[in-house]
Amino acid sequence: MNKNDFLQNISRRLGRETVPTVAPERIIEGAPEFWTSARGMSEMSLSLFCESLTALGGEVQVCESLEEVQNTLQNLLQKLAPKRVATWELDEFTDLGLSAEQWREVLKPYETLEWGRCTLDELSRADVGITGCACAIADTGTLVMMAGPGRGRSVSLLPTVHIAIIRQSQIRHRMGEVMAELSPLGQMPSAVHFISGPSRSSDIENDQSIGVHGPAALYVLIHRDVL
């Protein structure tokens, strides 16, 4: 059967007289409205994000203050006992409310590899990577990471453990809200990553391995900045 006969056969089965020669009009562009209409659900989104990420194998800690964020991070690093810690440029964390000096105080006991001040080879030997995120998605337990001059993607991909520190106000309920925020950007980042839990890989026999193509463990510290 040639191509034209094949398409004519499909058209007849669909109740059409002829094969369409013009593409149908696209009525909806971008994310559907129901995907972007979940504003004002902060507490519900926080609870759902914690539940979703935990189900994926991640660990979440909600902190009521910046001091608690700092103490929780210090305690977590003591527990993990890394030799080397990789971070974004420390100035990238100032929007979380802690100064670069406060971050340096937390990281003082460890060999710190700050993005932009070390080589990629050095980063590849880090035990823990600490980042922020652009936003998070509650119903899938996902971190949205946007690369930038001070926010190298290697920090969240190469170390064995990834620690992300985010604000409650960065949590979106659905993927559509994130897509709507990305659409108006005049220039997209060099990379946008969606991270849902620790790295998982499966071979052709569906044998699952953890941490082969990314961190084997993910910890998220959330500062409750929404009253």
pLDDT in tens, 48-96: 999 999 999 999 999 999 999 999 999 999 999 999 999 999 888 888 8
Cα dihedral 176, 180, 185, 188 in deg (nearest 10): 10
The values of phi and psi at residue 189, to 5°, are: -60, 165
Q: Where are the beta strands (DSSP E) in 11-169?
A: 59-63, 84-87, 111-114, 128-131, 135-137, 142-146, 161-167
pLDDT in tens, 36-49: 666 556 788 999 99
pTM: 0.81
Measured distance CA(10)–CA(169) in Å, rounded? 50
Residues, the chain: 227
Query: Between the CA of residue 102 and those of 74, 96, 106, 108, 119, what are the distances in Å?
Result: 11, 11, 6, 10, 24
CA angle 154/30/138 to nearest 5° reads 55
Question: Which residue has better confidence, 224 or 27?
Answer: 224
Q: What is the mean pLDDT of residues 146-155?
A: 90
pLDDT in tens, 85-101: 999 998 888 888 888 88
Query: Between the CA of residue 126 and those of 10, 87, 114, 167, 192, what are the distances in Å?
Result: 57, 10, 11, 25, 22
Measured distance CA(178)–CA(182) in Å, rounded? 6
Residue 30: closest CA among 159, 186, 182: 182
Copy the structure tokens of residue 75: 């305690």
Copy the structure tokens of residue 63: 């902190």
Please, what are the domains in the chain?
Answer: 41-223 (3.40.50.10420)
Q: What is the DSSP letter of 92?
A: G
